[in-house]
Amino acid sequence: MSSVDDSSIQRTLDVIGDRWTLLILRDVFRGVRRFSQMQSGLGIAKNLLTDRLGALVEAGIVEKVPYQDRPVRHEYRLTDKGRALSPALVALMRWGDEWCGDRDVPTELVHDACGTRLELQPWCVECNEPVVPTAISSRPGPGHHQEPSHAAT
């Protein structure tokens, strides 16, 4: 049996499993890149925003890019690693739309090219078909570490 600390979900939560971090990421995905815009839009304390942005930069999820020289000011842009979080954020949003709302969804995600509402569905690349949650199982992966047996010899 694997340790909770060794699970992929735990490692992910260690990096992005904070309310403010998820809301910051949501805003960066929406195109909010400047500290002052994030701070006023979220109503977050400056020290908390500084801390969370620093952690996201350190994790390689966003990069700090100067946009002004005098005084030096920065904006925050998603890296490839950060953009890879999109499906996870969409999944959280969809879950919240279905299970935490008491009215119509507040935001719809659409394809820029045609305006069609986006869906999120696990897909089997071998069978080329959608996979429902009850048809998903797990198995030890290459990074699985089996705990040593504590049996007496």
Q: In whole angstroms, what is the distance from residue 146 CA to residue 153 CA?
A: 19
Domain-located, residue 57: yes
The pLDDT of residue 133 is 84
Per-block mean pLDDT, blocks of 10 residues, the chain (153 long) = 69 94 97 97 97 98 96 96 94 90 85 90 91 89 69 48
Domain-located, residue 67: yes
Q: In whole angstroms, what is the distance from residue 146 CA to residue 85 CA?
A: 28
Q: What CATH number has the domain bearing residue 81?
A: 1.10.10.10
The pLDDT of residue 153 is 43
Q: Which domain range does residue 117 map to?
A: 4-135
Crossing angle of the two packed helices 19-29 and 35-42, in degrees rounded to 10: 120
Written as six digits, the tokens of 97 are 């739309």
Written as six digits, the tokens of 91 are 């999944």
Q: Whole-prediction pTM value?
A: 0.82
The tally of domains found in the chain comes to 1
Q: Which of 118, 148, 121 is nearest to 133 (CA)?
A: 121
